[in-house]
Amino acid sequence: MTQTRLYFTTGKIEADRIFAAFETAFEDEGLPIAILEVDEDRDIQEVSLYADGDVDAVEARVKEILAGLALSRPIAREPVPDIDWVTRSLEGLKPVRAGRFFVHGAHDRRKRHSGELAIEIEAGLAFGTGHHGTTAGCLEMLEQVVRRERPRNALDLGTGSAVLAIALAKLAHIPVLATDIDPVATKVAAANARLNHVKALVETVTAPGFHHPIFAARGPFDLIVANILARPLMRLAPEMAGHIALGGSIVLSGILDRQRDAVVSAYVGQQFRHVRTLHREGWVTIYLKR
């Protein structure tokens, strides 16, 4: 069945209000809702609602909800064929080598070299295949940090597909807590941990921020890696400081080159010391020590 995407743009504050209203209004139908940051500097967010069946009726309800919030936005439509786009896109991706790591799909198992730390990632609804500059940069940096610091207890915050958690488990042979706010992501992460034979080391938990009791139970951490986005990373700086062991290290990514100084400043203010920045494809990976 073909779905139709109803979408419009607005600011972040309005987008959050609209998302909450849509969740309540369309809870029974289970219609997917999404927010995408189109332009961070100009505060442009794209809100999407995926409808099937009577699209006109759904659009009418969307307009009623917006009117109830004293908002009015032109709504565009886009047909979405019933295709697993994630699987299709990953089928054509080439394997990635980053340091000792080799990230690949099932179709590229034969390309693994002796001595490489192979990570097989299946298609799934979670970010992180190793192909994005941020993920590859994290893999390179983690190899250096683990060799230098020899951590014993690690956290992968915002784990996505768990590629970084799996990398840590394979490289350091230590327990890794892998958390994400998205339950779909943690399900995919758990499956990937099993696929890569590190299920005993990688624990996956759905947890927003640091509010889940698992962090107190498993922390403090010798190493935290977080490949998210610059703004949430800056907001999390005080909590990162509260959950890292004294002398521990953090690896941060999802940060554009131009955002690097602001992120470093946020963590220096929490008694972290900048060690190194790795630049890759317009993105940076930052290594700091407390």
Asked whether residue 269 is marked as a ligand-binding residue, the answer is no
Task: Kindly tell me the sign of the dihedral angle through the C-alpha atoms of 255, 256, 260, 265.
Answer: negative
d(CA 267, CA 100): 29
Vertex 147, ends 237 and 122: CA angle to 5°?
75
Instruction: Assess contact for 176 and 169: CB atoms under 8 A.
Output: yes
Residues in a beta bridge with 180: 206
Asked whether residue 108 is marked as a ligand-binding residue, the answer is no
Count Cα atoms within 13 angstroms, Cβ side, for 58: 25
Alpha-carbon 216 to chain mean position = 22
d(CA 122, CA 188): 9
d(CA 39, CA 235): 19
Asked whether residue 242 is marked as a ligand-binding residue, the answer is no
Asked whether residue 124 is marked as a ligand-binding residue, the answer is no
> Which residues does the annotation place in the binding site?
135, 158, 180, 227
> Which residues does the annotation place in the binding site for S-adenosyl-L-methionine?
135, 158, 180, 227
